[in-house]
Amino acid sequence: MDPLLAASLLPQLAERAVRAAVAAGLVRGKMSPKSLIDEALVTFERAVGARAPDGVRPALLFSERDRIVRELRGFIDGKLAARLAALRRRDVIVAGAAAAPFDAVVRNALGRAYGVVIRRLPAGPGRLEVLRRIHVAGRRYDKTPLSGVLVYDLVSGSARLVRDARTVTRAA
């Protein structure tokens, strides 16, 4: 595979693998570091194999694998992961592809539903546009009324609660 194409494709595949691993961990009710990292790496390897049967430069592949591990460890060590892991299985309303456009929809102890989004948010003005699109998706979500959307940024390791187009507050 062309190195330039791989350099743009691998981060997308890695982000999808991380999101899928977290969603699967929520559904299973088990979000241990080993299970999340293993599942994300296996999913990533399969996706790369499917998209680039001729192979990818090992340096690009290993760099992205290291990034997956680093970002997942940051997520696992954070407050949001602890709160998600503490949820009862019945409080996970839906996760994975069924929760689209979110990675999961969960219910808190008060019975309020929240969308959960795990992304690599861009730096600069592009971040505001992504947060605006997430807010719009939360308002348009018609399966369950949402009280907000929890957005976790894999790059910075920060979580935000998006409630209103004018209000973006730090969550955890």
Tell me if 41 is assigned to some domain. Answer: yes
Q: Are residues 66 and 109 in the same domain?
A: no
Q: Which of 32, 48, 77 is the last residue of a domain?
A: 77
Question: What percentage of the chain reaches a pLDDT higher than 70?
Answer: 92
- Residue 1 binned pLDDT confidence (cut-offs 50, 70, 90): low
- Residue 20's Cβ-side half-sphere holds a number of Cα atoms within 13 Å equal to 16
3-state secondary structure of 105: strand
For residues 44 and 68, the answer to whether their CB atoms sit within 8 Å is yes
Rounded CA gap, 65 and 148, in Å? 32
Q: Which of 51, 77, 103 is the last residue of a domain?
A: 77
pLDDT score, position 30 = 84
- Residue-wise pLDDT tens digits, 63-93: 999 999 999 999 999 999 999 988 898 999 9
- The residue with tokens 């680039």 is 52
Size of the chain, expressed as the number of residues it contains: 172
- Residue 7 binned pLDDT confidence (cut-offs 50, 70, 90): confident
Q: Are residues 104 and 73 in the same domain?
A: no
Q: Are residues 46 and 17 in the same domain?
A: yes
Q: Are residues 49 and 105 in the same domain?
A: no
Q: How many CB atoms lie within 10 A of CB 96?
A: 16
* Whole-number Cα distances in Å, 158 to 7, 62, 80: 25, 25, 9
DSSP 74-93: HHHTSHHHHHHHTS-GGGEE
| 1: amino acid identity, one letter | M
Q: Are residues 66 and 112 in the same domain?
A: no
| pTM, entire model | 0.86
Tell me if 83 is assigned to some domain. Answer: no
Q: Are residues 107 and 151 in the same domain?
A: yes
95 pLDDT exceeds 60? yes
Q: Are residues 66 and 111 in the same domain?
A: no
- Residue-wise pLDDT tens digits, 12-68: 999 999 999 999 999 998 888 999 999 999 999 999 989 888 888 888 889 999 999
Q: What is the mean pLDDT of residues 107-129?
A: 91
Question: At a CB cut-off of 8 Å and minimum separation 6, what does 89 contact?
Answer: 27, 29
Tell me if 28 is assigned to some domain. Answer: yes
Tell me if 51 is assigned to some domain. Answer: yes
- Residue 166 binned pLDDT confidence (cut-offs 50, 70, 90): very low
pLDDT score, position 107 = 94
- Residue range(s) defining the domain that contains residue 40: 3-77
Number of domains present in the structure of the chain:
2
Strand order of the β-sheet with 167-170 is: 92-95, 104-107, 113-119, 146-153, 158-164, 167-170
Question: Which of 20-24, 57-61, 104-108, 127-131 comes out lowest in average pLDDT?
Answer: 57-61
